[in-house]
Amino acid sequence: MAVGLSGTLPPLLAVRGIRVGATAAGVRKAGRLDLVVIEIESGSDCAAVFTRNAFCAAPVTVARRNLALRMPRYLLINTGNANAGTGAAGLRGAEECCSALAAQAGCDPAEVLPFSTGVIGEPLPVDRIVTGIPAARAALRADGWNEAATGIMTTDTVPKGVSRSVQIAGHTVTITGIAKGAGMIHPNMATMLAFIATDARVRPELLQSCLLEAVDVSFNSITVDGDTSTNDACVLIATGASSAPPLVSDQDAHYPLLRDAVAGVCAELAQAIVRDAEGVTKFITVEVVQGRDPEECRAVANAVALSPLVKTAFFASDPNWGRILAAVGRSGLSDLDVDAVSVYLDEVCIVRGGGRAPDYTEERGREVMQRSEITIRIELARGQARACVWTCDFSYDYVRINAEYRT
User: Containing domain of residue 359, as a range?
Assistant: 283-403
Question: Which residues have a Cβ under 8 Å from the Cβ of 127 and sit 6 or more positions away?
Answer: none
pLDDT in tens, 127-138: 999 999 999 999
pLDDT in tens, 153-207: 998 999 999 999 999 999 999 999 999 988 877 876 555 899 999 999 999 999 9
Quote the pLDDT of residue 183. 80
Kindly state whether residue 105 falls inside one of the protein's structural domains: yes
Quote the pLDDT of residue 178. 98
Q: Say whether both 41 and 167 belong to one domain.
A: yes
CATH code for position 46: 3.60.70.12
pLDDT in tens, 206-250: 999 999 999 999 999 999 888 778 889 999 999 999 999 999 999
On the question of pLDDT at 11 being above 60, the answer is yes
Torsion sign, CA atoms 272, 278, 284, 289: negative
Kindly state whether residue 81 falls inside one of the protein's structural domains: yes
Question: Which residues have a Cβ under 8 Å from the Cβ of 191 and sit 6 or more positions away?
Answer: 181, 184, 185, 219, 220, 222, 223, 228, 229, 232, 273
Quote the pLDDT of residue 186. 81
Asked if 233 contacts 191 with a C-beta cutoff of 8 angstroms, the reply is no
Kindly state whether residue 198 falls inside one of the protein's structural domains: yes
Chain-centroid distance, C-alpha 265: 11
Q: Say whether both 288 and 386 belong to one domain.
A: yes
Distance, in Å, from the CA atom of 210 to the CA atom of 126, rounded to the nearest integer, reads 34
Residue 7: pLDDT band with limits 50, 70, 90: confident
- The last residue of one of the domains, among 275, 307, 328, is 275
Quote the pLDDT of residue 191. 57
The mean predicted confidence, pLDDT, of the chain is: 95
Q: Say whether both 251 and 385 belong to one domain.
A: no
Q: Say whether both 190 and 292 belong to one domain.
A: no
Q: Of these residues, 191, 223, 285, 391, which one is catalytic?
A: 191
Kindly state whether residue 256 falls inside one of the protein's structural domains: yes
Q: Say whether both 149 and 271 belong to one domain.
A: yes
Kindly state whether residue 6 falls inside one of the protein's structural domains: no
Q: Say whether both 209 and 87 belong to one domain.
A: yes
CATH code for position 322: 3.10.20.340
- The last residue of one of the domains, among 249, 275, 301, is 275
Q: Say whether both 357 and 381 belong to one domain.
A: yes
Predicted structure pTM score: 0.95
Q: Say whether both 187 and 85 belong to one domain.
A: yes
- The last residue of one of the domains, among 244, 275, 306, is 275
SS3 at position 160: strand
pLDDT in tens, 244-268: 999 999 999 999 999 999 999 999 9
Distance, in Å, from the CA atom of 162 to the CA atom of 191, rounded to the nearest integer, reads 18
Q: Is 407 known to be catalytic?
A: no
Residue 80: pLDDT band with limits 50, 70, 90: very high
Q: Say whether both 132 and 262 belong to one domain.
A: yes
Q: Say whether both 235 and 126 belong to one domain.
A: yes
Distance, in Å, from the CA atom of 147 to the CA atom of 135, rounded to the nearest integer, reads 13
Q: Say whether both 265 and 307 belong to one domain.
A: no
Question: Residues 60-85: what's their mean pLDDT?
Answer: 97
Asked if 351 contacts 378 with a C-beta cutoff of 8 angstroms, the reply is no
Q: Say whether both 248 and 309 belong to one domain.
A: no
Kindly state whether residue 24 falls inside one of the protein's structural domains: yes
Number of domains in the chain: 2
Kindly state whether residue 321 falls inside one of the protein's structural domains: yes
Residue 361: pLDDT band with limits 50, 70, 90: very high
Kindly state whether residue 333 falls inside one of the protein's structural domains: yes
Inter-CA distances, 157 with 80, 274, 361, Å: 15, 12, 37
Question: Residues 291-298: what's their mean pLDDT?
Answer: 97
Question: Residues 63-78: what's their mean pLDDT?
Answer: 98
Strand ranges (DSSP E) for 181-220? Answer: 193-198
CA angle 217, 218, 224 (to 5 degrees): 125
Question: Residues 318-345: what's their mean pLDDT?
Answer: 95
Question: Residues 90-115: what's their mean pLDDT?
Answer: 98
